[in-house]
Amino acid sequence: MKIINKTAKPFVKWAGGKAQLLNEIDNVIPDHIKKNRFTYIEPFVGGGAVLFWILEKYPNIERVIINDINTDLTNSYQTIKENVDELI
């Protein structure tokens, strides 16, 4: 199977999603974060619109920590991270 490099996008539609706010979020990210290595922490990842956007836009991310109160959702992200071939 040939894998094509594509930008990751949210894999679920999530109530309260922030995809429509990405331009506004970009406008308030401080310049020092845009220019230096940093840790991105997302306490309410949901569908991950901001997570996937920031991973694409800021290659200087050193570490990513995501969380959500929905354990089925966090288990899904964990499965994608650790067992994507098995999931596919």
pLDDT at position 37 is 94
pLDDT at position 16 is 76
Which portions of the chain are predicted below pLDDT 50? none
Residues 6+ apart with CB under 8 A from 10: 17, 19, 47, 48, 49, 52
pLDDT at position 6 is 66
pLDDT at position 21 is 92
d(CA 59, CA 37) in angstroms, rounded, equals: 9
pLDDT at position 3 is 58
pLDDT at position 60 is 92
pLDDT at position 80 is 86
